[in-house]
A and B are shown apart, each in its own frame.
Chain A
């Protein structure tokens, strides 16, 4: 044994033990893991959050020196970027100007034309300012930041932004800093606007750059209410000279004193900009993330055969992510600060660490034997993969270590993170993921257990996917061909195209998703690119709302009239000067007010525009976008990334212009603007906008309503509402069709209710023209399928209600018989004269609600008993049913009393061989043939009809006591009967002139019907010689019709025959004994015994083309070749019994107890798709045409398009259909279907199908 093998064994054993541990104590281990994750991530709290917002640092102006490059240890609060000189110093000169006093003769343009015009003189002043102290002459030219060309892409800004000179930005740049251009400009606003970019723009615009204040604060608009124009002249200085700046400040202040200005001037702010993430960097980043997501998607897609795929995929992703976090946290804990851009290397880290191990683990665990205990499964799975996991990990560690020795710092750091991440990922896989996996596997086992319980266990609607048994060929993963009801495909051919488009949009919710994604992206962009702007906006909101904010932050209120002491350098000389002009200005105010605008003073609009300085002006640049400075510098190809600029305190300038000056500077075209609004209409702009908004909103609302109405008309040309009222309910919400509430409109189908039976209908038979039905009460009714008229009523003569709950042809759930049998026997010998109680008469696994109890419904029984016979008063019926009967004659009555069988047929001969001796022919012992009162033969009055068939106008009825009767459907008379068999007839087939009866004891009887008068019977008219019928038992050969037992196969099957079908000269029987037998009809010879099912046969289909399909309790469906007896295909499709089977020429449709309808390709046996129905939808199926399937549901029938699996329509059968399930469904030739609906029959014509068939 080599070292390698020994190592391998040891690793395997260790993993095995570890797996046992994890699966045994899942909760403590998960808690422990979470705690350790949190502990390892704790150091991350100290890391700064990544972001691109600028950082500020404030220093005092007075003792400012340019910071040195070397880090200084003494100033602890200095950020580490505050080293070296800044890129530039920004000196803003904030100008507030107003025409004062305001005159009614002034036009709106005057608000800003003359104030803006003053910028040129100011610029001149600034440019020409020369400071000369002893050391030399300094001017702006010497100090300012000299810029060269604009970037080549910015040709359109060339006229506006300065080139080859000082970077000095002001509104004057719009006019190339030339007063003449400004004066000759007819429309200033247009000039300003023409440089604005179109569309949404989040960063700084040219207007912001030139004005230096946000657009809405400039006051340059025709509707400005404050009539104060604000703008900034921004000087960008390359070097800092305190003396020059202070002299400039003093000069400007002297020229244009600001009265009530209390701005602090002692602080300069240094703004540091992080590295920007531009589009160019974003694209590769986004690409890597897309690749990462594709990787995660393709990886987690492989997780299969578990209870919750999503849960495990989430756990896998969580494992990887938290291992990354842990690695970063651990590295930080040990003193390594991450310098790499986390967002960039993150995808690569994930990819390097990988999800492979997790997937390998999952696969290995789920491929262990299912029947093992969960603990053992986990342990085995772990130990199976232990070697490869360890090997992979060692390899990866080696590769990363090699990377570590490249000695490139960035790669080394990456490798360090990767190594720690790998180790912590291994830890998490072993502890976290394995435990989650064990929990998942355990849940799945529980689900499996649930599934194995019988369906009556009251299980809620089972999930179709994960509960499917292991051996089911289609994996739970939704394949494109599985059509569940949650996502119905409206690809119906009958739908017009517009509807299909709309359905597609609605189904996928495209528009919604697009809008959502767009909004998220937009918000993300906003928040990411403009955090500072957002922050200042929020701050502004808060300070506006709080009344204390202004007083506290704003320093002195503006109207104190006391010149504040300016602590800044150079502030002192101006202090006295500034007081002088201030009182001079307000003096004309009262006169103007009184003369110009009589009547409406104090409307809220100041006649003298108030120029006030507040705290917000102190650092006015904060209100700008934080990209303001980077974009300004980027125009000259200067990056601010990872550098800082210093913003010097603002120089405030207040300008008051006289109206005369404003008028003088007017451009001739300015007056073309609307006349100056009178004082009254001063408020109008605001109000107007309000009205405008209201009117527009109203109009938009009306338009929207109209649009929706048109859409509705276009899309829904049919009127649902009226039809719905007229034809019972079409409840959209209750349709088992889809979640979204659409059902494709097709023409309304109205069911025709055939009433008459008083009890639930048990047998249905039809030959196309006629329809015979038999109810629990034993009454047989014959209906015309065209008109729905009741033609004949053959009443139940004896009230012996021996229980039969149904025709054996439609039997489902034979499997439960054996289980429930003892109860049955007990029920059979219940008090009440041995009458089998109705409710538990037959232990079927029906999903229908309990049918009405016998005795409650008894009063309803009375009207039907009348017809031709003398009836007893109903009160007798109620309490003494066994002794009661129709009075055909005393003889009959007496005879019945003597030979009271406890419960004919059913209890004794109930399916299994252990149910006691076969029933005797009690009847025959003492049977006295009574003369039938109306010339009929004597029918068997006391046994129930278990099977019924209809051909021509002969009804063949098989009774529970083994009697076969032939009735005339039109006349309602008994034509003959045969009592050769004693065991109850469970199924009948009537083909040509042969009748095949299957009996409870497993025997099969072949009868031949001889018709002596060939013309008579198969027509509507009854035979003329009815009076000829002798009142003798039907064995007599003189009859018009005789029914003779030609052959009886005694032991056709070992167990009761459950299904009997005949077609194409073959009779096929299916039995509880797991076999299917094929007989030839002519000579009743057994051709094949088909074996292949592992459960009792529950459904058989055979048609003229000799295709035989059988379904069993094992959920399997077999397709056979009847000619050779070979099995064509064998598929498992259902969880539980197959309840019915239908074939079309191309596919096989099966329904099972699991409420699933599966559609299989007939030739290949491939499952095309399946439809999950509601619980208790019943098992009845019918195929109307090649592409139309009809299924019965709770009080409704549903039509499906077979080609696509779409629900076409659900027709509700009655007003109160709750609880009534459709159990039998017969498709007639004329595209109508008949289904039982409690005690009524429902005849549904499908007009659209007729059209389609033609």
Chain B
């Protein structure tokens, strides 16, 4: 990250003369597919990590005490869940800047890493709340989580495309989860079925917003680089 900023700095103040010694490095960095792969990989690993941690949070709610070898409970759910989350987050993170590009309205609201970090923290907080806080009934849980998720969107995103994409993806994800559950591929640990269904869409929505935020921030570097390159040409 630091390297790329340095390079871009040098290019910005450059007077148009090409330096042969810097050629291949720039070429690698600015190669579009390479950056795409790098970004995708970063998003994927973030998604896997968050999935593992948040899964742990949820597991915690249902089990009173852990045996000493508790680490294994991190991987207690099906092995394919974290990779799926990772892939989904990579897709979402790449999709958001792409849609911004297509719609022609670049996202300019709070484009800073600190804000992204804040967003991630709030997302984890929402998960935490859904796992730890005892709600009176499922409707209350759903309403609270929905309010929190929309608050998240309002605080960190505020773009219509982001909202739309978030809702669509959340619905699709909930639907596919339900299908999986009905087909018996996957089952919840909690016997209370309604409970799960009530928080799932909201969590999905918040996750989509968060990953989109991260993806946009990552894409910002590439955009900077590209625009400078075209400027240079």
Q: Which residues of A contact B (CB under 8 A)?
A: 151-154, 278-281, 283-284, 287-288, 291-292, 294-295, 298-299, 301-302, 344, 347-348, 351-352, 354-356, 399, 402-403, 406-408, 410-411, 473, 479-481, 631, 634, 637-639, 641, 1128-1129, 1161, 1163-1166
Q: Which residues of B contact A (CB under 8 A)?
A: 2-3, 6, 9-10, 13-15, 17, 19, 53-54, 56-57, 59-60, 64-74, 112-114, 116-118, 120-122, 124-125, 128-129, 132-136, 140, 143-144, 147-148, 151, 155
A126 to B19, CA, bound (A): 90
What's the least CB distance linking B4 to chain A, in Å?
Answer: 11
What's the least CB distance linking A894 to chain B, in Å?
Answer: 65
Contact status of A1164 and B15, CB under 8 A, knowing A283-B74, A287-B124, A288-B121: yes
- B117: which A residues are within 8 A, CB to CB? 291, 294-295, 298
Interface pair A480/B6, CB less than 8 Å apart = yes
Interface pair A292/B140, CB less than 8 Å apart = no
Contact status of A634 and B114, CB under 8 A, knowing A288-B128, A348-B121, A1164-B15: no
Interface pair A1164/B17, CB less than 8 Å apart = yes
Interface pair B6/A154, CB less than 8 Å apart = no
A481 to B64, CA, bound (A): 54
- A291: which B residues are within 8 A, CB to CB? 117, 120-121, 124
Interface pair B56/A479, CB less than 8 Å apart = no
Q: Kindly report which residue of chain A lies nearest to residue B13, judged by CB atoms.
A: A1166
Q: Kindly report which residue of chain B lies nearest to residue A405, judged by CB atoms.
A: B147
A153 to B71, CA, bound (A): 12
Interface pair A284/B53, CB less than 8 Å apart = yes
What's the least CB distance linking B48 to chain A, in Å?
Answer: 13
- B60: which A residues are within 8 A, CB to CB? 280-281, 284
A59 to B15, CA, bound (A): 85
- A1129: which B residues are within 8 A, CB to CB? 15
Q: Kindly report which residue of chain B lies nearest to residue A348, judged by CB atoms.
A: B125
Contact status of A1166 and B14, CB under 8 A, knowing A279-B66, A288-B121, A410-B133: yes
Listed residue (A281, A295, A355, A1165) with the most chain B CB atoms within 10 angstroms of its CB? A295
State which of B2, B14, B67, B72 has its C-beta within 8 Å of the C-beta of A634.
B67
Q: Kindly report which residue of chain B lies nearest to residue A636, judged by CB atoms.
A: B65
Interface pair B67/A1161, CB less than 8 Å apart = no
| 28 sample A-B contacts, Cβ–Cβ < 8 Å, listed by A number | A151-B67, A153-B67, A154-B67, A279-B66, A279-B70, A280-B66, A284-B60, A287-B124, A294-B113, A295-B121, A298-B112, A298-B114, A348-B121, A351-B122, A399-B151, A406-B143, A408-B133, A408-B136, A411-B133, A480-B2, A480-B6, A639-B64, A639-B65, A641-B64, A1129-B15, A1163-B17, A1166-B13, A1166-B14
- A299: which B residues are within 8 A, CB to CB? 114
- B120: which A residues are within 8 A, CB to CB? 291
Interface pair A153/B68, CB less than 8 Å apart = yes
What's the least CB distance linking B129 to chain A, in Å?
Answer: 7
Q: Kindly report which residue of chain B lies nearest to residue A295, judged by CB atoms.
A: B117
Q: Kindly report which residue of chain A lies nearest to residue B131, judged by CB atoms.
A: A284
- B68: which A residues are within 8 A, CB to CB? 153-154, 631, 634
A1165 to B15, CA, bound (A): 8
What's the least CB distance linking A1083 to chain B, in Å?
Answer: 33
- A406: which B residues are within 8 A, CB to CB? 140, 143-144, 147
State which of B59, B125, B136, B151 has its C-beta within 8 Å of the C-beta of A351.
B125
Q: Which 7 A-B pairs have the closest CB atoms?
A: A295-B117, A298-B114, A639-B65, A153-B67, A299-B114, A298-B113, A351-B121
State which of B2, B65, B143, B151 has its C-beta within 8 Å of the C-beta of A641.
B65
What's the least CB distance linking B121 to chain A, in Å?
Answer: 4
Contact status of A351 and B118, CB under 8 A, knowing A287-B124, A302-B112: yes
A411 to B141, CA, bound (A): 11
A288 to B129, CA, bound (A): 13
- B112: which A residues are within 8 A, CB to CB? 298, 302
Interface pair A280/B70, CB less than 8 Å apart = yes
Interface pair A278/B66, CB less than 8 Å apart = yes
What's the least CB distance linking A862 to chain B, in Å?
Answer: 58
A280 to B76, CA, bound (A): 12
What's the least CB distance linking B37 to chain A, in Å?
Answer: 24
Interface pair B14/A284, CB less than 8 Å apart = no
By secondary structure, the A interface counts as helix
Interface pair B14/A153, CB less than 8 Å apart = no
A1161 to B151, CA, bound (A): 49
Interface pair A284/B128, CB less than 8 Å apart = yes
A1168 to B136, CA, bound (A): 63
- A1164: which B residues are within 8 A, CB to CB? 10, 13-15, 17, 19
Contact status of A410 and B132, CB under 8 A, knowing A280-B60, A1164-B10, A1164-B19: yes
Contact status of A283 and B53, CB under 8 A, knowing A291-B120, A291-B121: yes
Contact status of A292 and B71, CB under 8 A, knowing A283-B53, A1164-B19, A1166-B10: no
- A407: which B residues are within 8 A, CB to CB? 136, 140
- A356: which B residues are within 8 A, CB to CB? 114
What's the least CB distance linking B47 to chain A, in Å?
Answer: 14
A154 to B124, CA, bound (A): 33
Interface pair A284/B124, CB less than 8 Å apart = yes
- A279: which B residues are within 8 A, CB to CB? 66, 70-71
- B56: which A residues are within 8 A, CB to CB? 280, 283-284
- A348: which B residues are within 8 A, CB to CB? 121-122, 125, 128
Q: Kindly report which residue of chain B lies nearest to residue A197, judged by CB atoms.
A: B68
- B70: which A residues are within 8 A, CB to CB? 278-280
- B125: which A residues are within 8 A, CB to CB? 288, 347-348, 351
- B132: which A residues are within 8 A, CB to CB? 344, 410
Interface pair B134/A292, CB less than 8 Å apart = no
What's the least CB distance linking B1 to chain A, in Å?
Answer: 11
- B17: which A residues are within 8 A, CB to CB? 1163-1164
Given A152-B67, A481-B6, 17 new contacts (CB under 8 A): A279-B66, A281-B60, A283-B53, A283-B74, A292-B121, A298-B112, A298-B114, A344-B128, A348-B125, A351-B118, A351-B122, A399-B151, A408-B133, A408-B134, A641-B65, A1164-B14, A1166-B10
A638 to B67, CA, bound (A): 10
Q: Kindly report which residue of chain A lies nearest to residue B14, judged by CB atoms.
A: A1164
- B128: which A residues are within 8 A, CB to CB? 284, 288, 344, 348
Interface pair B135/A479, CB less than 8 Å apart = no
What's the least CB distance linking B13 to chain A, in Å?
Answer: 5
A1165 to B147, CA, bound (A): 54
- B66: which A residues are within 8 A, CB to CB? 278-280, 634
A481 to B7, CA, bound (A): 11
Q: Kindly report which residue of chain A lies nearest to residue B57, judged by CB atoms.
A: A284
Contact status of A634 and B136, CB under 8 A, knowing A291-B121, A480-B6, A1165-B13: no
A153 to B19, CA, bound (A): 63
Interface pair B114/A302, CB less than 8 Å apart = yes
Interface pair B6/A479, CB less than 8 Å apart = yes
What's the least CB distance linking A690 to chain B, in Å?
Answer: 37
A151 to B73, CA, bound (A): 13
A1166 to B11, CA, bound (A): 9
A634 to B63, CA, bound (A): 12
- A288: which B residues are within 8 A, CB to CB? 121, 124-125, 128
Interface pair B147/A634, CB less than 8 Å apart = no
A639 to B134, CA, bound (A): 20
A698 to B75, CA, bound (A): 48
A313 to B13, CA, bound (A): 30
What's the least CB distance linking B191 to chain A, in Å?
Answer: 17
Listed residue (B118, B124, B128, B136) with the most chain A CB atoms within 10 angstroms of its CB? B118
A867 to B128, CA, bound (A): 95
Interface pair B69/A1161, CB less than 8 Å apart = no
- A280: which B residues are within 8 A, CB to CB? 56, 59-60, 66, 70, 73-74
Q: Kindly report which residue of chain B lies nearest to residue A474, judged by CB atoms.
A: B9
State which of A152, A295, A402, A634 has its C-beta within 8 Å of the C-beta of B118.
A295
A229 to B2, CA, bound (A): 65
What's the least CB distance linking A966 to chain B, in Å?
Answer: 43
- A294: which B residues are within 8 A, CB to CB? 113, 117
- B71: which A residues are within 8 A, CB to CB? 279
State which of B118, B124, B134 has its C-beta within 8 Å of the C-beta of A410.
B134
